[in-house]
Amino acid sequence: MYIFRFGIDDYNCMRCGKVLSREADAGAMGWIMELYEGFVVGFVCPECATDEEDIAAQTTSAMGTFHTDKFGRMLYDPNTQ
């Protein structure tokens, strides 16, 4: 089992280990953020993401936004227009 470890300067794909600099915009580069109970536990690069994961990420992104609460959890706010 691969245990994801946050690097100091980089994001690592939790499946293949590919590296993306934290200075890059992971979302704009097609990387998918994996959350567990609101906490970021890893990232999946575009090459490793399944079609289903990619569609789910695009749908989630189009229908709302994320923000961080005071405990560091990523919370989803759906668009209510």
**Domain residue extents for the chain:** 10-78
Q: What's the predicted TM-score (pTM) here?
A: 0.73
What is the distance between the alpha carbons of residues 18 and 38, in angstroms, rounded to a whole number? 23
Phi, psi values for residue 26, rounded to 5°? -60, -40
User: What is the residue-level pLDDT of the chain in tens, covering all 81 positions?
Assistant: 344 444 445 788 999 999 987 777 777 788 998 888 888 888 899 999 999 999 998 898 888 888 888 988 888 888 755
b/e string for 57-75 if b means 16 or more Cβ within 10 A? Answer: beeeeeeeebeeeeeeeee
